[in-house]
Amino acid sequence: MEHVKAAIRTIPDYPKPGIMFRDVTTLLGDARAFRQAVDAMIAPHAGAKIDKVAGIEARGFILGGAIAHQLSIGFVPIRKKGKLPFATIGQSYELEYGTDEVEMHTDAVSAGERVLLVDDLIATGGTAEAAIKLLRRAGASVEGASFVVDLPELGGADRIRAMDVPVATLVAFEGH
């Protein structure tokens, strides 16, 4: 995974001082690293029956779409409130200051479907936790969660594992 890690750009002090932003857009622009990341995100689920991939806005759409294509299964976008055109269900979650909400279409998953949740990065895990709750409320079984980057000091991967969802990550960066 060294090529994948090397393809991720780090931007210091973004979006605020003290934050080291891990930018996967450079990975997406590197065909070899992008392919390696997609293949590695699928590998832990080889042989598992997955019906759909759910991707969290926005980079999770890119990765999740590629994974869904590779697996020849459907894709479910999980978006910020107010972005989807059809009837939705939503799940709020806590931010450092206030709350936010993610939504998906009411017909995005069927009861009993097995879903793989995908995003570019797991930090505190709040958005991923909300997405899992949303998928479960719709009747889906979340079979796993896959991320390119883990920020282990923030505890998000452990938070998702505590929800009985296996978590796979490709690379870890220390700090925030």
Which structure tokens are listed for 53?
A: 């991939």
Catalytic site includes residue 96: yes
Neighbours of 117 (CB within 10 A): 27
Which is the catalytic residue, given 2, 32, 57, 59?
59
What sign does the CA torsion over 22, 28, 33, 38 have?
Answer: positive
Which structure tokens are listed for 51?
A: 């019906």
Catalytic site includes residue 57: no
Residue 41's Cα: distance from chain center in Å?
Answer: 11
Which is the catalytic residue, given 9, 32, 96, 174?
96
Catalytic residues: 59, 96
